Amino acid sequence: MVTTLLFVIFAGLAIGCAIAMVAQRNPLYSAISLVGVFISLASLYVMLAAPFIAAVQVIVYAGAIMVLVIFVIMLLNVEEEERPSRRLRFLLPAAVILAAVLIAEVIFVLWSVQTSLYTPGSNVSDTGLTSSIGIGLFTTYLLPFEITSILLLMAIVGAMSLARRAGVMTVTSRVVPGAQVLAMDIADPRGVSDETPVATATTAQAARLLGVESKQDSNEQG
């Protein structure tokens, strides 16, 4: 009785938050609604005797990924979304068809569960407990586990290599002031292990030496 009541509460919360997430125009409210979905789902996992999955769901999704999403929204100060353009209108029938398929699936699952001959046992399984998941991950499913971790590692390395493209600068490339901070020997390879002071007479000479000619200098030359 209490279990049914709790299920209705959390399932309702999950669906309500999911609808709110899609319907909200403000991206921050959408993000908060998504956190609500994750936490309601975690509560449902607890009721399904899978406490480990529930805890990991909250730690990874609600506690790490969504914090980063909210971080980005805060940093970029994303404004409320405009009304969607009519460009993607042709997707509406596709959405209706997919929704119909999903509902059909749900009805089929419910019907097949109702009519099946199998009755669940009363003893609680230990499938969702930490030790059984750990044993499964490091024995039976070791290869998929390792492959998934390598996939994540690839994503990290990819992000790093994209972000560090500034490291392969040449002497002549222009630097937007304040856009990135680089060590002197990256910006100017000639500066490495050469500590002789360079004397220049004018600002223009110094600029030419450092490869940061300004527009004013070229005007003087011309």
Residues that bind another protein (CB under 8 A): 28, 32, 35, 39, 42, 51-52, 54-56, 58-59, 62-64, 67-68, 70-71, 74-75, 129-130
Our CB check for another protein shows the closer of 64 and 97 to be 64
Phi, psi of 200 (to 5 degrees): -125, 150
CA proximity to 40, closest of 67, 70, 19, 71: 19
Per the CB < 8 A criterion, the answer to whether 11 and 40 are in contact is: yes
Our CB check for another protein shows the closer of 37 and 188 to be 37
Our CB check for another protein shows the closer of 36 and 188 to be 36
Our CB check for another protein shows the closer of 16 and 211 to be 16
Q: 40: which 2 tokens? A: 């309601």
Q: Least separation, in Å, of the C-beta of 29 and another protein? A: 8
Our CB check for another protein shows the closer of 19 and 60 to be 60
Give the DSSP per-residue string, 141-184. THHHHHHHHHHHHHHHHHHHHHHGGGGG--TTS---TTT----H
Q: Least separation, in Å, of the C-beta of 81 and another protein? A: 16
- Return the axis-axis angle of helices 27-47 and 66-76, rounded to nearest 10°: 170
- With 0-12 / 13-18 / 19 or more C-beta atoms within 10 angstroms meaning exposed / middle / buried, residue 59 is exposed
Q: Least separation, in Å, of the C-beta of 166 and another protein? A: 19
Q: Least separation, in Å, of the C-beta of 117 and another protein? A: 32
Q: Least separation, in Å, of the C-beta of 89 and another protein? A: 32
